[in-house]
Structure formats: structure tokens, C-alpha cells
Structure 1
Amino acid sequence: MNSNTIKIGILGIGGIGGFVGAPLAKKYKNSATKIIFICRGETKNAIQNKGLQFESKGIKETIFPDVVSDNPTEIGILDVLILTSKSYSIKDILSTYKDCISPQTIIITLQNVVNANEIIRETLPEAGQIMEGCIYVASNVKQPGHVQHIGGPGKIFVGGKENKQLIDLLVSGGLDITYVPNINEILWKKYLFVAPVAGITSAYKVTFGQLLEDENLMHILDNMMIEIQSLASKNNIMLTKEDIETSKDLLTKFPFESKSSLQLDFENNNQTEKRFLVDYVIENAKKYGIGTPYYNDVNEKIKTSYNVS
């Protein structure tokens, strides 16, 4: 990031990519900081022709980034790559755009996982700086090129090697982003919320509000979080009872009708992140001899409801 022109690519302009990319493209239009939306198909065509339609807090804006492309040659070498795609896409996407990533490229991850660094290095072992991160937001695609921010503060936390220049650039671009040295703890705290909520809302086909109103389901959710707590402890992350209560309380911060992205993907017959949000917990807990009866039951209900393995 020592050159006069800084190229920031946002890979995947879905709910999260649109939320992150919109303020950056708006702020840095016609400046030395170039914002590139990396997307394909209908999304690429819609944004190229009509711009990104972005709705937040009752305001709808049309935003044009500097470049919208799926062509690695046109994109060129990036200074910063913000990964906002689903977890299951990371390996294929990085393989496709490996020529846009140099050892100096800073990769920021915003997936709902606790092992993004591991996933990336399996595909790009020579990758340079990886800043694992997470974002607290509910933002959905209404249609290709049209993103709606539903709820959640949009707060972003990132770790890895500290880079004040980059963080300041992103903050100036309208992102609520904070560097933390203990990112693994933050990632597990978010996972404590995201993974069990995704599993239970998908299994029982309920919204966040309906989940909150059902004592039996909240009991199941509480025990799923305790199972996550046990797994985290094996990774040297101590999640407390207060962390569990905070995670459950987060449900009240979203609109009643909110649904998890896993649930929406099941409903829309899309590829899902079940492998990262449900299977990962069960399989890794088993390695440590941790029982996961509540996660197992939710998993079986998901498999039955959606006819998946």
C-alpha cells in the first residue's frame, strides 16, 4: 500500500459485499483509491448497467464503483482483497482470482467461520497478510445488484498484523471497522451466535422473533451454545456464561422477521454453509470426545426437512 493508487477489491457482491462495498465506492469515487466489485453473471450485468441499488435505514442509493468485473486481467493486482463470499466458495474463488493476489496483497476475511486463515492457506499457501475478521449485520440480496440492509450495527472486527493505514482508509470510507489483537476470541464469540442460530432456525423453519418466543427452542439454542463453548475451550478460547447470554440477547437486536442466511439458502434451494456452521461443530467436537446431542438432533432435523446429507 505504498503506491499512490490503492486498489481495493470486494469479492462477492451479495448481502455482505454490497453492505461493505457501497460506502467505499461512494466515498472513493474519482479518487486515488479504486474500488472494484468482483462479481459474475446477473449481479455483474445489473451493476454494470444500473449500478448497485443499496437500501439502508430507509434510504435507497444507486452506487457505481470504479470497476465491475469477473475478469482477472481487467481487475489486475489488488492491494487489498475483502472476501465477502460464502465460506463454501473461498477455495474456488481464490483459485480463479489468484493472479490478482500478490504476496503484498492484504486479504480481509468476513466469513462466518473460525478457520478462514486455514481455508485460504490450503489454496494459496504463499498468501501474504491475512486479516481474519467478522461483521455483525443482517443484509440480504433482494435481486441481483439490489442489496438491502435489514438490521444489525454493521460493526466489523479484524485481526492479524496491525495495519493502521489500511484501517484508517476503510474507516474514512464509511466502514465501522476496528482492529483487535485477539481476533480468535472475537471470531468464536460471533460463531457462538451465528452457528447455533443458523442451525436451529433452519431446522425448525422459524424467524429470529419466533425463536425468541418459543421457550423450548430457546432451551435447545442455549444447549447448542454450551456445546460450542466446550469446543472453543479445546481451542484455548474460554467462552463464559455471560457470552452465551450476550449471544442470545443479540436476537433481540434484529427485526422479528429476520432469518439466518443458512435458512434463506435452504428455502431458495441454494448451496449452503451447513458444512461450516453445523457439520464443523459435530465433527470437531467428536475429535475431542465432546458430546453434541443438541447439535446432532438439529442436524438430523435439517437433513430430514431439506433432504440433504
Structure 2
Amino acid sequence: MKTKELTIIGLGGVGGYFGFKLAQKYASSDALNISFVARAQTYEIVKEKGLTLLSAEHENPIAHPHQIYSNLEELPATDVFVICVKEYDLENICRQLKSRIKDDTVILPLMNGVDIYERIRKIISNGIVLPSCVYVASHIKEKGLVEHKGNPGKIVMGKDPENPQYDALEVATLLKDAGIDLDYKEDSFPDIWTKYFFIASFGLVTARYNKSIGQVVEEPELHNRAALIMKEIKEIAKKKEVAISEDIIEKTFQKAASFPYQTPTSLQLDVQSGKANTELELFAGAIIDYGKDLEIPVAETRQIYNEIKAGLLQ
């Protein structure tokens, strides 16, 4: 039987957490090879010492992939690509992967955003792309070392709308057998959009005002701005016929209220620290682009986007 090849691209909080689980589970497997793609110092450290995961889920904190590569050109023929990069790297990664994708190659993007599937499909027309969203509280503590806290990470994965006949049960089983909490659905887009309601609205407002998630829930002006952004997202989701619940806005605020009061968002931390690359386009840019395409006014999102771009930060 031919050995299958699964490659994790990106060893940040998401790729490091799920890549660790896969590498540790299949370390001695003849049926599945796990490869990592990482850059610069991360590549050197993981190649020499392995990937470290600090998590209550694992007694042994070190995992070694079968292979680690510093660039995609070195990869062997791969059956499954798991993409775990920041959204601003997505197009570049897809262009590098394009020539390596066969009709039966599977791409599993574990990324934030509601437009990830469409952006991949603009560059890669063949292969199987499984729309997904991910929940995991993990981050890079230092190069080659990922820290995980809280609940076990979870993936919600759906079928490829362009290839509905393809059943990803084999991929789902590989992930589940590695101890990954995975929910495989016919349609994962409602889950993807439900998560986006929270990360986009709270990301934008916390980034603009440098206020915590708890403050956005409680302070009237901030609460109102988040609610207006969610209303615009809801109009877009309806126009795209995504099956979201009618009370999605109320549920999103309830979810936010369950976080520790002082919790910041990653966009807030990136914007306030002056980081050159942030996920601002992922959160606001996608809403603005959808609004333009679908002829839906998104004045609140456009306004807060312009304020952040202009440096009107508190």
C-alpha cells in the first residue's frame, strides 16, 4: 500500500497545535507521513529539536515530523495539504502550490475568514478544498514552541461545494485518530460565518479603541458599533443564502460575555503594536468587498476600517 503524504504549512498557534498531534500520532506509521513546512528560525529549531507543544493534553511535549521543509518546492507529491498561514500569506502559498495540486489532492485550510474558500478557488481550480473553521486557544510562545490553554482544539470541516461527490471521511478519520476533535458536516459555511460574526465585529472594535472584549460588551458606544457591523455581516450572509440563525447577533454578544472581561483580540494586539501585517483586510476588507459585489451598504464597517487605516486609535 502506498504511503500517504500529509503536509502542514505553517507552524503558528494553529498549525503547531494540530501538526503536533498528527506528528506524534503517526510518528511510527508506515501508512501516513507527516511533513511540516516552516520558515527560517522555526525550520532550524524544529528540524534539530522537534516541535514543542505545552498543553495539558500531552505528557510528552515533543513531536518530530517525518520531514520538515523550508520551502514548498522541496515537497514530494502530497495527498493532503493543511494550510495554517496568516490570511495575508494565502495567495502567495496558493500560487506556489498550484502546480502541485492534482484532481484528487485535498486542501484543508485551517484559517479565519469567510472568504478563504473563494480566494483559494480563484487561484487553484482543481483538487478538493474542504471549507473549515477552527477553534483553539494556542499561540507561539517562542520559535518552535507552541502553548495551548483551555479546551481542546476543534475543527469543523465541510464538503467541497464544487466536488460534493467527494466524501472526506478518510481525511476526517486520520484527524480523529490523532485525537483531534473534528465535526465533519455536509455544509460547514454556517459554522464559518457564525465564528466570523464574533471575530470580525469584536476584532475591529477592540482594535479601534484598544478596549477588551468585556468592555465592548458593556460600553454602549462600543456595543452599538459591534452590533452595526454584525447587522451588515448578517445582510451579506442572507444574500449569500448561508443558513445562520435569526438571533445570531444576540448569541454573538452572549458568547463574548463568556470570555474573561479583560481578554483582548489578536487584531487589537497587532494593530495597537503597529505590526505591519495584520488581519484587518480579512475582517473589514472582506465585508467591504462583499458589500460592493452584492450591492449591500456596509457604512459602519467601511467607517471603522478607514479609522483604523488612518491611525485613529485610542
Please confirm whether the aligned pair reaches a TM-score higher than 0.5, indicating the same fold: yes
Residue 110 of structure 1 corresponds to which residue in structure 2? Answer: 110
Check conservation: 1:84, 1:109, Cα contact below 8 A.
Answer: yes
Residue 14 of structure 2 corresponds to which residue in structure 1? Answer: 16
Structure 1: gaps spanning 5 or more residues: none
Question: Does residue 35 of structure 1 match 2:34?
Answer: yes
Distance 1:57 1:292, change over 3 A: farther
Residue 68 of structure 2 corresponds to which residue in structure 1? Answer: 68
Check conservation: 1:140, 1:150, Cα contact below 8 A.
Answer: no
Residue 289 of structure 1 corresponds to which residue in structure 2? Answer: 295
Residue by residue over 1:43-64, the C-alpha shift from the partner in whole angstroms, topping out at 9 and shown as x without a partner, is 1112112222212248681222
Q: C-alpha separation between the residues in 2 aligned to 1:118 and 1:108?
A: 13
Question: Does residue 275 of structure 1 match 2:281?
Answer: yes
Q: C-alpha separation between the residues in 2 aligned to 1:306 and 1:51?
A: 43
SS in 2 for 1:276: helix
Q: C-alpha separation between the residues in 2 aligned to 1:268 and 1:152?
A: 30
Deviation at 1:135, TM superposition (A): 0.5
5 Å matches for 1:181-220?
181-220=186-225
Q: C-alpha separation between the residues in 2 aligned to 1:232 and 1:304?
A: 28
Q: C-alpha separation between the residues in 2 aligned to 1:23 and 1:81?
A: 15
SS in 2 for 1:103: coil
Deviation at 1:131, TM superposition (A): 0.6
Q: C-alpha separation between the residues in 1 aligned to 2:302 and 2:71?
A: 42
The code of the aligned residue for 1:105 comes to T
Residue by residue over 1:8-54, the C-alpha shift from the partner in whole angstroms, topping out at 9 and shown as x without a partner, is 11111111111111111111111122111111112111211222221
The code of the aligned residue for 2:91 comes to K
Check conservation: 1:77, 1:100, Cα contact below 8 A.
Answer: yes
The code of the aligned residue for 1:95 comes to R
Q: C-alpha separation between the residues in 1 aligned to 2:88 and 2:19?
A: 21
Q: C-alpha separation between the residues in 2 aligned to 1:214 and 1:252?
A: 12
Q: C-alpha separation between the residues in 2 aligned to 1:306 and 1:148?
A: 33
Identify the match of residue 247 of structure 1 among 244, 248, 252. Answer: 252
Q: C-alpha separation between the residues in 1 aligned to 2:310 and 2:173?
A: 48
The code of the aligned residue for 1:272 comes to T
Structure 2: gaps spanning 5 or more residues: 160-165
Deviation at 1:271, TM superposition (A): 1.1
SS in 1 for 2:139: strand
Deviation at 1:273, TM superposition (A): 2.0
Q: C-alpha separation between the residues in 1 aligned to 2:151 and 2:228?
A: 24
Question: Does residue 123 of structure 1 match 2:128?
Answer: no
Check conservation: 1:53, 1:147, Cα contact below 8 A.
Answer: yes
Distance 1:72 1:279, change over 3 A: closer
Deviation at 1:180, TM superposition (A): 0.8
Deviating more after overlay: 285-294 vs 200-209? 285-294
Deviation at 1:238, TM superposition (A): 4.4
Residue by residue over 1:152-186, the C-alpha shift from the partner in whole angstroms, topping out at 9 and shown as x without a partner, is 55221111232212211110012111111122222
Question: Does residue 80 of structure 1 match 2:80?
Answer: yes
Check conservation: 2:37, 2:72, Cα contact below 8 A.
Answer: no
Deviating more after overlay: 148-157 vs 42-51? 148-157
The code of the aligned residue for 2:4 comes to I
Distance 1:237 1:81, change over 3 A: same
Q: C-alpha separation between the residues in 2 aligned to 1:151 and 1:117?
A: 28
Length-normalised TM-score, structure 2? 0.87
SS in 2 for 1:43: helix
Residue 7 of structure 1 corresponds to which residue in structure 2? Answer: 5
Deviating more after overlay: 204-213 vs 46-55? 204-213
Distance 1:246 1:56, change over 3 A: farther
Deviation at 1:248, TM superposition (A): 2.2
Check conservation: 1:140, 1:148, Cα contact below 8 A.
Answer: yes
5 Å matches for 1:44-55?
44-55=43-54
- Superposition CA RMSD, Å: 2.3
Residue 162 of structure 2 corresponds to which residue in structure 1? Answer: none
**Identity between Structure 1 and Structure 2 (%):** 30
